[in-house]
A and B are shown apart, each in its own frame.
Chain A
Amino acid sequence: MGEARGAVVVIGASAGGLRALSAVLAALPADYVRPVVVVLHVAENGGGLLPELWSGALAVRVKEAVDKEPLLPGSVYLAPPGYHLLVEEDRSISLSVDPPVRFSRPSIDVLFQSAAAACGADCIGIVLTGANEDGSAGLRSIREEGGTAIVQDPRTAEYKRMPQSALEAAGADFVLAPEKIGDWLRRNS
C-alpha cells in the first residue's frame, strides 16, 4: 500500500459510543502518527463539551473540528454536532450543513465515503457500537478503495446493530473489542 502520506483513521460510533470510543483512544500515545477523525452521534445541541471531557484523560489531543483545518498526526478531530465532516484530498477537513443522511448529521457514511474518495487505500475505517446502520455503506466504500476495515466485535458492543450491519454490508479485516482496536492502531503505526 502506498503509505507516502500515511493513513487517516476514521471512526464512527453511536449509542454506547462514548465508552467504546474512550477505550479505543486511551490506547493511543501522545506521539501517535496518524490523524484520527471521529463521528459520534449525539443530540444536535449536546456534544460540544466532549473535547473538554476528554482533555487530561487521554494522551492524544482531542478537539472539535474546524472547517478547512489540516489533519495533523496524533490529533483527534470530532465532528461538531449539526455538521457533516468530510475529508479532503489535501488532508484537510471540510464541514457541511447538507441535509442529514439517514437522519444523521454528522453522518458516519458521509465521513467514511469522503475519506475513501480522498485517501483511497490510506484509510482505516472503524465502526463501533450503535443502534442504527450508519457507517455500513461508508465502510464498504473504504474497503472497495483498498482501505482497512475494523469493526467492534458485536459481542462487546453495548448496541450491536451498527457493528453487525457493518459486518454484513462490508465485512471487516479485523473484528475486535474496543481496547484491542486501540492496541491494533498503536501497533500498526
Chain B
Amino acid sequence: MTDKLTEKLTDKLTEKLEAELLLEALYRKYGCDFRQYAQSSLMRRLNNVRLQAGAKSLSELIPLVLHDQAFANGMVQDILVTVTEMFRDPPFFAELRTKIVPILKTYPFVKIWLAGCATGEEAYSMAIVLQEEGFYDRVQIYATDMNERSLEIAGEGIYPAESLRSYTANYHASGGRSSFSDYYVANYRMAKFRDELKRNIVFSNYNLVTDHPFGEMHLIVCRNVLIYFNRELQAQVLGLFDASLVHRGLLCLGSKETLDFTPYASKYETLSPKWKIYRQRTQ
C-alpha cells in the first residue's frame, strides 16, 4: 500500500515535470506562454491532447511540439477554451445599459477593450447594446484574443442557428427592446450577424500574458479569462489593464472573478458587486 502510494507520488512529480517541459517548449519555440495558467484545468486539457495524440506521457508530445508546427498550433487551440455565448449573464448587459453607458456618454469619444473576446459573440452583444442606447457611433471597440481561429470566426460573425433561441432569450433578459432577429439573417443552419454591427469593432490578435499595454481605454471588459490564470498571473494582467485605462476608467470582470484580495482592490470603487463592474478611484 505505502509502496504503491509512493509510486503514485513519484509518477505525479514526473508528470508535473513533463508538463513544465512541454509548456517551456511551447513558450521558447512559439512564444505562447501557458506557464502561469491555473494548473488543474490546464492539466486536464493537456491530458486530453495527450490522449487524442495517442501518447502515453506528456513528454512524448515535446518532439511533436518542437518539430511539427501544425501539431503545436492544434495544441494551443485545444488549451484555449473558446466557450462563449451572446449576452452571457444577461443581468451584466442590463447593468451595462443602466450603469456603464450613462458614464461613457459623458465622453465625446469612447474606446472599449474587450479582452479575450473568443469567437466574437460578446463583441456583437456589446455593439447591439451601444447601438440601442444611441451612441455606438461615438465608440471604437477593440476586441482581442490570442486564438487566431476564434478571431476569424469573430470577423465573419456567423454562428450556428441552433444557438439563436437561447441568445434571443438572453437578449430580452438583458433588457433588449427590439426584435432580436433584426440583427441577423439566418437559414436553418447558420445565422450571420449584420455587418453594420461590426462597423466599429476591430478584431485583433493580442496576448494578455506577453503583449504591451493597450493605451487609453475608457472601458475594459475581460470576462471568464482570468479564471484560467494563477493568482500571480491574474495580478500581472490586472496591472496591464490598470495601465491601459484612462483616469477613472471602468473595468468589468466575469461574475465569478473579483478584484478583492488583489493588489488593485483599493484602487477601484465597486459599481456592481454582483456583476463585477469597477471604476478607478480619483487620484
- Is the C-beta of B177 less than 8 angstroms from some C-beta in chain A? no
Q: Looking at the complex, which one of B1, B43, B258 makes contact with A66 (CB distance below 8 Å)?
A: B258
Q: For residues 129 through 153 of chain A, which have their beta carbon under 8 Å from a beta carbon of chain B?
A: 145-146
Report Cα–Cα, A121/B8, bound state, in Å: 10
Q: How many residues in B have their beta carbons less than 8 Å from beta carbons of A?
A: 25
- A89 with B39: CB separation less than 8 A: yes
- Is the C-beta of B130 less than 8 angstroms from some C-beta in chain A? no
The main secondary structure of chain A at its interface with chain B is: loop
- Is the C-beta of B267 less than 8 angstroms from some C-beta in chain A? no
Instruction: Give the contact-size bracket for chain A.
Output: 20 to 34
Tell me the smallest distance from the CB of A104 to a CB of chain B, in Å. Answer: 14
- Report B74-95 CB contacts with A as 1/0, cut-off 8 Å: 0000000101000000000000
In the complex, identify which listed stretch (A50-58, A110-118, A160-168) lies at the interface while the others stay far away: A110-118
- A67 with B8: CB separation less than 8 A: no
- Report B252-268 CB contacts with A as 1/0, cut-off 8 Å: 00001110000000000
Q: Looking at the complex, which one of B4, B39, B43, B258 makes contact with A67 (CB distance below 8 Å)?
A: B258
- Report B22-50 CB contacts with A as 1/0, cut-off 8 Å: 00000000000000001111011100000
Contact A120 to B256, CB < 8 A, known contacts A97-B227, A99-B83, A114-B44: no
- Is the C-beta of B231 less than 8 angstroms from some C-beta in chain A? yes
Tell me the smallest distance from the CB of A82 to a CB of chain B, in Å. Answer: 9
Q: Which residue of B lies closest to A114 (CB)?
A: B40
- Report B218-236 CB contacts with A as 1/0, cut-off 8 Å: 0000001011101100100
Report Cα–Cα, A94/B226, bound state, in Å: 10
Contact A94 to B38, CB < 8 A, known contacts A67-B256, A68-B231, A117-B12: yes
The 16 listed contacts between A and B (C-beta, < 8 Å) are A67-B257, A67-B258, A68-B38, A68-B234, A86-B44, A87-B40, A88-B39, A94-B39, A94-B227, A95-B256, A97-B224, A98-B41, A99-B81, A120-B5, A146-B1, A146-B4
Point out residues on A near B: beta carbons under 8 Å. 1-2, 66-68, 80, 83-84, 86-89, 92, 94-99, 110, 113-114, 117-118, 120-121, 145-146
Point out residues on B near A: beta carbons under 8 Å. 1, 4-5, 8-9, 12, 38-41, 43-45, 81, 83, 224, 226-228, 230-231, 234, 256-258
